[in-house]
Amino acid sequence: MSLLRTNSGPPSAQVLVGGELLPSKYVPVHNPARIDELVGHCALGTPEMVERAVETAKVAAPTWRDLGFHRRAAMLRSALPRLRETLAERANLLTREQGKVLWESVADARGPELVIEYFAGLIDGGYGREERWDESGRVVIRRVPRGVTAIIVPWNYPIYLACQHLIPALITGNTVVVKPSELVPLSLSRTLAVLADALPDGVVNVVPGEGPIVGRALTRSADVRNVLFTGSVPVGQEILRAGADLVRTSSLELGGNDPALLLEDASLDDATMNEMVRGVFTCTGQICFSIKRIYVPRSRANEFLAAFTAAADAIVVGDGLDERSTMGPLNNARQLERVQGLLAEARGAGASVQAVGSRLDPDGWERGHFMLPHVVSDIADDNPLVQTEQFGPVVPIVTYDSLEEGVAMANDTEYGLAASVWTADPDAGLQVGELLETGSIFVNSHRLGSSDMSMPFGGTKRSGIGRTHTAAILDECTEPQALAFKKDLSAFPGPALAEQAR
């Protein structure tokens, strides 16, 4: 089967339930760089389709569970050749529907390969079962799947973010229902088709559609025993409320407002500034743990602003498929309007706002959701542009007078996903990092690659609950089960204990 219909016009992301493609209504998917260009269509799933998908996953669960860790890992590995064969096709399609430049799409689209190899390696290493024999008897502790798992995917890094939940859920024996974003469903659907073809029918089910309809139906289903979600705080709160009624687990990554803290001794050379620029503007700033605000010692503020602005001025904004582009458009009109609104509010409050970079195609600028990068200075720490997750190509630069003040301002947020410290002394950077209230702290980097799969990834405060990467996500997808045989029962509590109380 194929989740991506291509035999009659543009491709369509379809509903897959138990190996069967269901007829659906569709909405168009447009190219953010040329919004008049139709890239494909996305099925609009219904609550009835969700119910059918969940029931199908529930029926398929026992057989998939009973295959065991190693057989499941082998079946997932069998999808690797086809994933590699389709990499270029999927990356190209991702740029056309999401907007980011091609290398960023390649990094996203090759995520399944890396995730499968990593977690299959953990299974090879013995994850999932411990046994203990001694004179008292035998104890077995094993990890068992939670059951039908809902995976709800955002539009910024749809393939990798789906697979960092999907692969651990599958390899630990859960069956899944995936809801792609209706904004960027096509490349993910192609990826899911490759995985579904390698596994038994009903193990991977896909229901694209709108969050208030498909997502809500999924998260309110009593037969869904785990929800793995990446997205906004309000939706995460709704998932938690539904989970409380159902006594069900959830793992939530809810975004961040991630600070970069520059210390007095930090280098401002070209390499450092280019690294920081990439940490801000990759994927047009639409990455949950990218740099969202920069704190600089007042004594170095002018020097830093000049160096950082010069580095950011090399950015070329254009169509992500044009090799001359180094930054693409924002994904959608709503996000563009939101970022422009925050920028206008900061300007109205007296902040200094500077546009940098250049337009690759000035004549075609209005055809897409394009926006030049902006660097904002002379801004108060309590301005909404500083306190909000902008999710766009805008970065505020805030000054501080003492390290204690800088740390306090970096921590003064409802979010706690990631942070970075920039210094000539990495050991000092790690020490300062221990003062920051985030799930991950990086020294002298803060971008894709800073957090690899050997490091647990997730947030504190309102940035979420749970962790991805490492065996931590395998634990999120399973329950510990203890089995015991005790030879000597004489030491168990009983009436004889009353004698000790007399």
Q: What are the catalytic residues?
A: 253
The type of residue at 1 is: M
Cα 74 to Cα 62: distance, rounded to the nearest angstrom: 18
Quick one: how many helices (H) and strands (E) in the chain? 18, 24
Tokens of 311: 């580095």
The type of residue at 150 is: A
Give the torsion through C-alpha atoms of 187, 190, 196, 197, to 10 deg.
Answer: -160
Cα 450 to Cα 463: distance, rounded to the nearest angstrom: 18
Helix (H, G, I), strand (E, B) or coil at 16: strand
DSSP state of 327: B
Instruction: For 331, list phi and psi in degrees, rounded to 5.
Output: -75, -35
Cα 157 to Cα 160: distance, rounded to the nearest angstrom: 6
For Cα atoms 109, 370, 338, give the angle at the middle one, nearest 5 degrees. Answer: 95
Beta bridge partners of 142: 129, 481
Beta bridge partners of 99: none
**Among candidate residues 71, 32, 167, the one with its CA nearest the CA of residue 111:** 167
Q: How many CB atoms lie within 10 A of CB 242?
A: 19
Is residue 226 left, alpha or beta, with left meaning phi > 0 and alpha meaning psi from -120 to 50? beta
The type of residue at 491 is: A
